[in-house]
C-alpha cells in the first residue's frame, strides 16, 4: 500500500496519539511507515500537524503539497490551512467544532468554523463529524482523537483492518484508558455508517 495521511489540529487535541496508532496499525500489517510531528512551542495551543507516509521508497518526512490521500482535521480552520497538501481526489475527515484562538476572545472576528466547512465541501470530498455529538456518550470530546480513527476505518479509504487498530490501542494506551478508547473507536465506526 502507498498512502499519505495528514493529521492536523490544535496543540492539545491529541493528534500525536492518533498518528501513532495509524502508523502502528499500518506497520502491524506489514507496511513500511514514516511519520513526522510538530513538537515544541506549537503544542501550546498552536497549529499542529502529523504527516504519515505509508509505503516504501519515500524520501521526505513531510508529505509534499497535493499528495495526501487522506486528511484528518481536528478543527475546520486547520483543515483549510492544510488543504494544499490534499490530492485533488483526496478525502477530508473534519471535525466541524471550531477551536477559537485565544485572540478571538480578545478581538472577535466571528470565527465559528461554518465558513471553513462550507469551503472544504466545495473543494474536496468530505466526511464531516461533530466531535461533541460523536463523543457525547464518552463524556469528553477529548476522545475524538481515537473516535475519528473509527470514522477513518469505516470510510474504507485506508486499507487497514479495524481489529489491527484495536490491538494497537490496547498496546499503546495507558491501561486505565483502554476501555474508553476502544469504545471511542467503535462509536466512530458506527457514526460513519449513519
Partner 1 sequence: MSREYVMGNGAIALGALVAGVNVVAGYPGTPSSEIIETISKYPHEGVHLEWSVNEKAAMEVAAAAAYSGARVLVTMKQVGLNVAADPLMSLAYVGVKGGMVIVSADDPGPISSQTEQDTRAFAEFCRIPVFDPASPEEAYQMIGDAFEYSEKYKTPVLFRPTTRVCHAYASIDVADHYEAKKYEGFVKDSSRWVIFPRLSLTNHKMIEARNPEIGKDFSGYRYNSSNHATSQKAVFASGVSYAYVYEFLKDYPEVKLVKIGTPYPFPEDFVRKELEGVREVLCVEELSPYVENQLYRLFGLHHLDVKIFGKRSGHVPGAGENSADSVARILTEYLGLENKKSAMDLSDAPTIPVRPPVLCAGCPHRASFYAVKQAMKGQKAYFCGDIGCYTLGNAMPLDMVDTCLCMGAGITMAQGFHWVDKEAKTFAFVGDSTFFASGMTGVVNALYNGADMTLCVLDNSTTAMTGHQPHPGTGRNMMGNIVDKIDIVKVLEGMGVARIHVVDPLKLEEAVAAVRECAKTPGVKAIIFKSPCVAITKPAGKACINDSCINCKKCINEIGCPALIIENDKVAIDPALCTGCGLCSRICPVGAIESTKSSGNSSKGGR
Footprint of partner 1 on this chain (CB under 8 A)?
Answer: 10-12, 14, 16-17, 23-24, 27, 32-47, 57-66, 77, 80-81, 83-84, 86, 88, 100-106, 108-109, 111, 115-116, 119, 123-124, 139-146, 177, 180-181, 184
Nearest distance from C-beta of residue 194 to partner 1, angstroms: 22
At its nearest, how many Å lie between partner 1 and the CB of residue 116?
Answer: 6
Give 116's Cβ-side CA count (13 Å radius). Answer: 24
Of residues 11 and 189, the one with the C-beta less far from partner 1: 11
Q: Which is nearer to partner 1, 100 or 167 (CB)?
A: 100
Least separation, in Å, of the C-beta of 190 and partner 1?
A: 19
Residue 52 is inside which H or E element, if any? Answer: strand 47-54
The H-or-E segment that residue 118 falls in is: helix 114-123
> Given the complex with partner 1, which of 24 and 158 has the nearer CB atom?
24
**Smallest Cα–Cα separation from 38: which of 81, 70, 3?**
81
Helices (H) and strands (E) in the chain, counts: 8, 6
Q: Which residue's CB is nearer to partner 1, number 59 or number 156?
A: 59
Q: Is 168 helix (H, G, I), strand (E, B) or coil?
A: helix
Shortest separation between residue 130's beta carbon and partner 1, angstroms = 14
Task: List the one residue out of 82, 109, 95 whose CA is nearest residue 147.
Answer: 95
d(Cα 166, Cα 153) in Å, to the nearest integer?
11
Residue 160 DSSP label: -
Which of 90/189 has CB closer to partner 1?
90
In angstroms, what is the minimal distance from the CB of 7 to partner 1? 13
Torsion angles phi and psi, residue 163, rounded to 5: -65, -35
Nearer to partner 1, 96 or 181 (CB): 181
Distance CA 105, CA 123 (A): 29
Supply the minimum distance, in Å, between the C-beta of residue 164 and partner 1: 14
Amino acid at each position: 500500500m502507498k498512502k499519505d495521511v495528514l493529521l492536523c489540529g490544535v496543540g492539545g487535541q491529541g493528534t500525536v496519539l492518533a498518528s501513532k496508532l495509524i502508523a502502528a496499525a499500518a506497520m502491524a500489517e506489514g507496511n513500511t511507515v514514516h511519520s513526522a510531528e510538530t513538537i515544541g512551542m506549537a503544542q501550546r495551543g498552536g497549529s499542529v500537524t502529523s504527516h504519515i507516509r505509508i509505503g516504501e521508497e519515500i524520501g521526505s518526512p513531510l508529505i509534499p503539497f497535493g499528495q495526501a490521500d487522506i486528511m484528518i482535521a481536528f478543527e475546520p480552520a486547520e483543515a483549510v490551512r492544510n488543504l494544499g497538501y490534499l490530492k485533488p481526489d483526496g478525502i477530508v475527515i473534519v471535525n466541524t467544532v471550531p477551536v477559537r484562538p485565544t485572540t478571538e476572545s480578545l478581538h472577535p472576528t466571528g470565527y465559528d468554523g461554518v465558513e471553513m466547512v462550507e469551503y472544504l465541501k466545495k473543494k474536496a470530498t468530505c466526511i464531516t463529524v461533530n466531535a461533541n455529538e460523536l463523543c457525547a456518550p464518552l463524556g469528553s470530546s477529548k476522545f475524538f482523537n481515537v473516535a475519528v480513527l473509527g470514522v477513518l476505518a469505516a470510510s474504507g479509504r485506508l486499507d487497514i483492518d479495524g481489529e489491527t487498530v484495536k490491538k494497537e490501542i490496547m498496546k499503546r494506551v495507558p491501561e486505565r484508558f483502554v476501555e474508553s478508547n476502544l469504545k471511542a473507536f467503535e462509536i466512530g465506526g458506527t457514526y460513519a455508517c449513519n
